[in-house]
Amino acid sequence: MSKKRDDGQGSSRRSRPVRNYRIESDQPGNRRPGGPPARGPRDHTVDDSGLDDFTPPNPGNPLAGAKPGVVLGAALALLGIVALVVVPFLPISAPTWTVPALIGVVLLGLVVLFMQMPRHRSDGGDGAQV
């Protein structure tokens, strides 16, 4: 194959010379013809006057609005599981009924949590809500 193109452009890949599109009037410190100095993204300043009045929201205590049954069930279930994991590593000899009792505590916590679930749905929607 020949490197010469059929359209008469020659073997050069570029048909037109590359132009430098840098516009001198847009550089900081230069003036546009008949206008104020050009401003770029580095010339941006932030108005801090509204930031002085900002106070972050206080989320408060997450357990303050919780039902006591939910807190009790969660505490029983979680503390029972933690005790099941920690007790075997303690340097004391636990009685033989310790593991069945801790399993009972975890199950009791799960039953209490299950009983706190609502009995009926609040609306007849399909569940696709935001």
Question: For every residue of 33-101, which 3-state class applies, written as one string?
Answer: CCCCECCCHHHCCCCCHHHCCCCCCCCCCCCCCCCHHHHHHHHHHHHHHHHHHHHHHCCCCCCCCHHHH
* Over residues 63-74, mean pLDDT: 89
Question: Tell me, what's the pLDDT at 100?
Answer: 95
- Whether 102 and 110 have beta carbons less than 8 Å apart is answered as no
Question: How would residue 41 be classed by pLDDT, with cut points 50, 70 and 90?
Answer: confident
73-129 pLDDT, tens digit each: 999 999 999 999 999 899 988 899 999 999 999 999 999 999 999 888 777 667 776
| 10 DSSP assignment | -
User: What whole-number distance in Å separates Cα of residue 120 and Cα of residue 2?
Assistant: 81
Q: Helices 98-115 and 68-86 sit at what angle, rounded to 10 degrees? A: 150
Of 87, 80, 85, the C-alpha closest to 102 is 80
